Amino acid sequence: MNTHKIEDTTVDISPEALAGLGGGELAYVRTIRSEDVQRLFPQAPDIAPGLTLFTLHAADGTPIMLTDSREAALANASQHELTTVSVH
């Protein structure tokens, strides 16, 4: 059996390449502060500052939804047949 050591590597991937990952079926959930909502969701109403919220994003980073619970974001991804992946 061969063992290969893989070093930590940073890879730059274009938004177009990310959009193609998983054939448009991948998404991820991110935690954001309510102060950042207007930047990602300009159409959203004013939200009190200091809240922790969750966003569901397409693989290319496009915001899909905003919610107050991680479970709701994951449920929405499931309803739309999106596979959620962990992004660090």
Q: Which of 19, 28, 16 is nearest to 83 (CA)?
A: 28
Q: Which residue has the higher pLDDT, 12 or 79?
A: 79
Q: Is the pTM of this model over 0.95?
A: no
Task: Decide if 25 contacts 85 (C-beta within 8 A).
Answer: no
Within 10 Å of residue 28's Cβ, how many Cβ atoms? Answer: 19
What domains, with CATH codes, occur in the chain?
Answer: 25-84 (3.30.730)
The whole-number pLDDT of residue 61 equals 85
Model confidence pLDDT, tens digit, residues 5-62: 445 556 666 766 655 665 678 899 999 999 999 998 999 999 999 999 999 998 888 8
Q: Which of 52, 62, 54, 57 is nearest to 87 (CA)?
A: 57
